[in-house]
Amino acid sequence: MKQEEILAQKVSSGLSILKLLIVFTLVLVPVIFMYFTVGNAWPKVEEKAEAPSEIYVPEPKLAKAPSAWRMEKDENAELLEYGKELIANTAYYIGFNGIKKHSTNGLNCQNCHLEAGAKAWGNNYLSVASTYPKIRKRSGKMTDVYDRINGCLQRSLNGTPMDSTEYEMKAMAAYIQWLGQDVPRGKTAEGSKIYPLEFMDRAADPVKGKAIYEAKCVSCHMADGQGILAENSRSYTYPPLWGKHSYNDGAGLYRISKFAGYVKMNMPFGVSHQNPQLSDEEAWDLAAFVDSMPRPEKDKSKDWPKIADKPIDHPFGPYADPFSEEQHKYGPFKPIQEWYAGNP
């Protein structure tokens, strides 16, 4: 080999070592660095935990609302922000002493649709965009998002409906649908709406419920159930659970299964589905107590046009089954369920 050829070979093998070194520093070094800094991004083999004191139930994947920056970037950002604000502070704008008008009671949508309608098992709105319009059995009619919002405005907020052309209505509807934008059409998001609590074998007991209420709820909702009015006197810091500023007897929470599922996962305020504090029985008994207290009445004569469609815990007859209003209100519900299973 000529002197030059040997030199050329040396240079080229030197170059490939150099190439290797470059690849190493460019690829492997950052990977190793990241492994130690953001190590959590890599699945690690779990260390064996000590024997758990309670049975561990792995949490299913619950749907999440889109993140805030996506709203900021949205072309309708202003409308969406206002919709969210209205859901969170409804009474301030349109409640009994609202700054825009006086068309609803003392409640905010957020009182029952927690974290502006985004909380897992906090009655969230994530399934609205994907499942409406649909035929609802309560009205027997095709129901779109505006109609559904009006349902809560007239029942949970014991107020008057809004036209779909009103700016406030447009804002709430836009925000609610924005929340569900990632859920495929026709699908229900896991953790949306209210947690379906299992029926008890006995009837729910308002007397037991009152005692639990006095122990676990009065500190915020007060002994008279009227909550605490905010300083602005337009809304509540702690919302009323019965009486003239609370939901009426046509509202979803007036069905004790909805009330029980809601409080189980969300009350006392601060708990979630990950750390509930009430037993199922406590939740049912609380529901029986609160839903036996006085509240505004709604004309329900046009509800459930097919009576066999009435939910088992709808407390107003007539029914397609032989059970009493009392049993439809407080249970036990399993015999009713079984009756329908045998009489389809």
Decide whether 149 or 336 has the Cβ nearer to ligand HEC: 149
Decide whether 170 or 221 has the Cβ nearer to ligand HEC: 221
157 is an interface residue for ligand HEC by CB under 6 A: yes
252 is an interface residue for ligand HEC by CB under 6 A: yes
217 is an interface residue for ligand HEC by CB under 6 A: yes
With contacts defined by CB under 6 A, name the span among 73-81, 101-109, 310-318, 321-329 that binds ligand HEC. 101-109
Decide whether 174 or 217 has the Cβ nearer to ligand HEC: 217
Whether the CB-CB separation of 203 and 332 falls below 8 Å is answered with yes
Decide whether 168 or 321 has the Cβ nearer to ligand HEC: 168
63 is an interface residue for ligand HEC by CB under 6 A: no
> Looking only at residues 299 through 338 of this chain, which bind ligand HEC when binding is defined by CB under 6 A?
none
Which class for 244: exposed (0-12), middle (13-18), buried (19 or more C-beta within 10 A)? Answer: middle
265 is an interface residue for ligand HEC by CB under 6 A: no
Count the Cβ atoms, other than its own, within 10 Å of residue 62: 16
Cα separation, 150 vs 143, in Å, equals 10
DSSP string, 60-75: P----PPPHHHHHHST
234 is an interface residue for ligand HEC by CB under 6 A: no
Phi, psi for 326 (deg, rounded to 5): -55, -50
276 is an interface residue for ligand HEC by CB under 6 A: no
149 is an interface residue for ligand HEC by CB under 6 A: yes
The contacts of residue 71 (CB under 8 Å, 6+ apart) are 77, 80, 81, 84, 178
Whether the CB-CB separation of 60 and 192 falls below 8 Å is answered with no
Contact residue for ligand HEC among 91, 120, 229, 263 (CB under 6 A):
263
Contact residue for ligand HEC among 65, 82, 108, 178 (CB under 6 A):
108
Phi, psi for 210 (deg, rounded to 5): -65, -40
146 is an interface residue for ligand HEC by CB under 6 A: no
